[in-house]
Amino acid sequence: MSADKAALPRSPAASAEQAQGITPKSLTSGEAKSRLETDGPNTMPDTSAHPLRNAFAKFWAPVPWLLEASIVLEVVLHKELEAAVIVGLLIFNAVLAYFQEARAQATLAALKSRLALNASVRRDGIWKTVPALQNWCAVT
């Protein structure tokens, strides 16, 4: 059975531990605090875009491109009424998509604020539960 275990590749966590110089035992509380101060919390950065950029993004996709091309074609063919109807549909679609996305983002933010994220960490050889924002190399 030990031969089977030797044939298995190392886990990504074990490789990360080796690259960081972490022993399999645990980090000390001082080392964890030092890493938290130098590297910051172990979280994902906020990637939300500016609202104006989100609004203009609704016009930059294959389906809006087809509608925009059809607007140009209608104008070239001197069918301004049809072009105006397509413009109205394009704007309505973009506004609807923008507000739907804004509602979804607000719901996600509300859910995130209600979650109590904790991490199990091993500090000074003892397993502890700490707030996820205050951990560094959470599970060792």
Contacts of residue 93, defined as CB under 8 A and 6 or more positions apart, other chains included, come to: 58, 64
* Helical H segments across 28-127, by residue range: 29-39, 51-57, 62-76, 80-114
Per-residue pLDDT, 51: 84
Q: What does the alpha-carbon distance between residue 15 and residue 139 come to, in Å, rounded to a whole number?
A: 13
Mean pLDDT by 10-residue block, N- to C-terminus, for the chain (140 residues)?
Answer: 47 59 66 79 71 89 94 97 97 95 89 78 80 57
What pTM does this model have? 0.55
Mean of per-residue pLDDT scores for the chain: 78
Per-residue pLDDT, 136: 54
Per-residue pLDDT, 83: 97
Q: Which pLDDT tens digit goes with each residue over 44-56?
A: 666 777 888 888 8
